[in-house]
Structure 1
């Protein structure tokens, strides 16, 4: 078994150091931006710098652990053998570039495929969502107790991608019209955190990568939330795909009253 307490201390220190690096680069405007697959799929030199920062820390302090991360193609693995860290160095890169807000460092640690530790660090707000499996989910050290644990769809706030709304994908825009409200933040980890803390009741996305969802996946399971692919099938965290995370009643309603009928 991994030494959770020791790793947790290290991660908290490294997250703060990484956040300092990000904010310094942002303040000094020293970073460069380039496209990956298109004009909305961007990477900055800061994304790359933070990934290298964590890779170097692992190589120094936990050399037997493997890293799965967004930017470096050598940080891609297909198995969960041993201890695996799944990192998004800046989740919400477009927000980082355009708004200088609503972006996060997302990190999850698995041992032989079982989630152990999870962190979502809202860098600008310096808000840390964290989880040690078996001990609960915390926001800046305060344990999460969801305010409305199982609301109906009519009482709910949904978060979903614009593409889902524009296409009324699987009838989900219709579902949104029946909900209390619909929101969109453009950063998967913080959108999952909104559901985890009860500020929203469901989050849906058509396509996310392992580093987008890994930390939120651990936290959702810790709190007993329903988390699956949009069609209700089980999630393999190392594979890309859709996401539906929700309280139990909303998950059931979205799946059976809308998704399965479309």
Structure 2
């Protein structure tokens, strides 16, 4: 089956090949953010030239577009850069949350728990367990990429499966589960702060807690585990075939 799939790749495999090539062609994230910065500058110039404006829903104040390419716009951008960062809504909650997450990570608590979850899992459940561990790894930031991916390769090899299948499964779990978790992660305080600032445009007293998105994240986690397990068992493992060393 593996040889047939390699010699005559189906439509799905061709699509995955295109996705891989496009992903590999993406520039470094730093250049992506730099590009987005200039996109915002261009959009501010375009919106200003077209005379875009809006009425604040609460104060009824007329809000006009500031051309950041103009001299006053550049002065505004530079002079308020520090205050914009300091007044960023999620900053305080993210810093406090990171203290706890950093302590758990540096003490190897989360790494040890994730390692035990994967190593102690029965052979028949190793794939869904890896997906569960990958989804939960974002509780401690990016530890899943550093710890779980090589661990998944070793576990797959130890049970007679291709180690690259373990790498692919764990990478999909960690990357696909970035916005899903069965627990709160470092991203939740930031998302709550952004949502709260947006909501306070309408209601100045509205409060969004870090657990507001948990129901969606938890349900998404189950979906990723189920879908990922099916893909690994039906596509990834048969495609790579048995591991011969």
Interval containing the TM-score (normalised by the shorter chain): under 0.3
Structure ranking higher in helix proportion = 2
Over alpha carbons, which structure has the higher Rg? Answer: 2
TM-score of the pair, normalised by structure 1: 0.22
TM-score normalised to structure 2 length: 0.23
